[in-house]
Amino acid sequence: MILIIDMSYKKDSLSLYEFVKPIANIVRATDDFAIKHFSEINENDIDSSEKVILCGTALKDNNFLCALEKFEWIRQFENPVLGICAGMEVIAKVLGCDIVRRSEIGMTKIRIVKQDVLLSGRKEFDAYELHNLSVVPTKDFEILAESNICIQTIKHKRKPIYGIMFHPEVRNEWVVKNFINLPKHC
Amino acid sequence: MKLGVLFSGGKDSCFALYRAMQKEDVTCLISISSKNPESYMFHTPNIHLTRLQADAISLPLVTFETEGEKEKELFDLKKAIEKAMREYKIEGVVSGAVLSVYQSTRIQKICNDLGLWCFNPLWQSDEVEYMKEFISLGFKAVISGVFAYPFDETWLGRNIDKRTLNELIILNKKFRISPIGEGGEFETFVCDGPIFAKKVKIVKAFKKYKNYSGIYAIEKAMLVKK
C-alpha cells in the first residue's frame, strides 16, 4: 500500500483537489493507496506503508513547517519516500538541511546531474514549478537534478528517500511511476 | 477564508466555484470581459451575462474590461483582483484552470505578487470523469461557441448531457478534440446547477457560424424560479 500524505493547511481542504488527487490518480492505475492528512498520521499508517508520497501545497501554504514533529517518522522509515515540493522541504528540515528563499512559478528546464532510477534515461526535461522556498542539502544527500534557480532533486545517500522540487503530476507523471516501481527496499 | 472566484460563466469556473463553496467562504465572483474574441486568457461568448448568472447564484460580481492584448490583459486581471481585495476583502483567488499551464502560471504569479492564496480545484482532473461529475451534480450548460473541425452548426446551443459527452468522447478518439474543450475547441454557458438559487432561462439567441467556427449568442435571458 502506498501512503499519500496531504500536506495542506487543513484536512480536506480546497487544495486536496489540486495537489493530492492528481497524485492519487497516477498511483490508482497500478497500486493500492490511502490518503491521509499529515496531522493524522499514526504509527500504524507508517508501519503498513510500502512507500510514502508527501504531496505539494499551495504557494502560500507553509503551515507544515510549523508542525515538523509530525514528520519525525521519516528518520526511522526504511521504505521509499518521495517528497514533492512541500514534501521535499519537510524531508530536508527533518533531516537537517537548510531552507532558503528561491522562487519558480511555471515551466522550467531541469538538468539531470547524476543518473538514478527515479529520473532514468533523461538528460533534461521541462517541469512545472510552484515554490518560493528551496532546499540546501547536507552531505547526507546527493543532488540528482538542478534548474538555473535551485536544486530540483535530491536522494539520501543511505536510504531510499527522494525530494523533488517540481510537480511531476503536471506533464511528468513518469517520475511518479518510476517511484512506484522502485523495489520496497532499495 | 474569504475567496474570489474568477468567473466566465462557463462550466469550468462554475464547477470551481461549486468546489470552493463547499470548502471556504466565497465572497465574490470576478469577471473579465475581453474586447478581443481571440483572448488568450478569457472566455468571451456571452460574457455580458455573468451579471445575470451572479444574481442567479446570489453572489456579488466584480467586473473589469480588457482590450485583450496578449500580456496586457494580465495587468487588467491583476487590477480586477485588486478591486475584489478592496471591495470584498478576499484572501485568495480560485480559478477553473484544468490543464492549461499558460493560464495557471499567470494566475499563480499574480496571486503571489498580491500575497493571495491561489486555488485551482479542477487542476489536472481526468477530463471525462470531470464532465461526468459536472452532469451528475445537476449542472445545466449549453455549448456557446465552437472553434474546431468537425463541429457543425448543430452543436451551437446544444445541452451538455450524457449523450453530448458520449459524442465528445468519440470526437476525442477520432480527432483528438478535448472532451472539455481545453484546447479552445468549444465554450459553454451554464444556466443552472446546485449553486444556483434561480436558473437562467434563455429567451432569445441566434447562431453565427462559418467554417467550423461559430457562437451561440444569447440576446435575451431571464432568471426564473427553480
ipTM, 2 dp: 0.95
CATH code, residues A2-180: 3.40.50.880
**How many residue pairs from chains A and B have C-beta atoms closer than 8 A?**
62
A52-80 residue pLDDT tens: 999 999 999 999 999 999 999 999 999 99
Residue B33 lies in domain = 2-119
A152 Cβ contact partners less than 8 Å away, ≥ 6 residues apart: A110, A127, A144, A145, A146, A164, A165, A166
CA distance A117 to A139: 20
pLDDT beyond 80 at A83: yes
Q: Which of B20, B124, B125 is opposite residue A14, by nearest beta carbon?
A: B20
**Domain's final residue, options B53, B86, B119:** B119
Residues B174/B119, Cβ–Cβ less than 8 Å: no
Q: Which residues of chain A does B108 touch, with a Cβ-Cβ cutoff of 8 Å?
A: 59, 105-106, 130
* Domain of residue B81, CATH code: 3.40.50.620
Between B127-136 and B11-23, two packed helices, what is the crossing angle to 10 degrees? 70
A86-142 residue pLDDT tens: 999 999 999 999 999 999 999 999 999 999 999 987 899 999 999 999 999 999 999
Residues B132 and B175 in one domain: yes
- Which residue carries 448543430 as its cell? B154
Q: Please tell me the predicted confidence (pLDDT) of residue B37.
A: 67
Beta bridge partners of B3: B26, B92
**Domain's final residue, options B62, B94, B119:** B119
Q: Chain A closest CA to B85's CA: distance in Å?
A: 16
A47-58 residue pLDDT tens: 999 999 999 999
Residues B78 and B161 in one domain: no
A162-184 residue pLDDT tens: 999 999 999 999 999 999 999 86
Residues B115 and B8 in one domain: yes
Residues B104 and B152 in one domain: no
**Domain's final residue, options B64, B94, B119:** B119
Number of domains composing chain B: 2
B28-67 residue pLDDT tens: 999 988 777 666 556 567 888 999 999 999 999 999 888 7
Residues B205 and B153 in one domain: yes
Q: Please tell me the predicted confidence (pLDDT) of residue A79.
A: 96
Q: Which residues of chain B does A14 touch, with a Cβ-Cβ cutoff of 8 Å?
A: 19-20, 23-24, 94, 119, 121
Residues B72 and B180 in one domain: no
Residues A35/A4, Cβ–Cβ less than 8 Å: yes
Residues B168 and B71 in one domain: no
Residues B15 and B64 in one domain: yes
Is the dihedral angle over the CA atoms A112, A114, A119, A120 positive or is it negative? Answer: positive
pLDDT beyond 80 at B178: yes
CA count, 13 A, side-chain hemisphere, B91: 6
Residues B89 and B143 in one domain: no
State mean pLDDT over B122-144. 97
Residues B158 and B58 in one domain: no
Report which of residues B6 and B76 the model is more confident about: B6
Domain ranges of chain A: 2-180
Q: Please tell me the predicted confidence (pLDDT) of residue B38.
A: 65
Residues B109 and B147 in one domain: no
* Domain of residue B146, CATH code: 3.90.1490.10
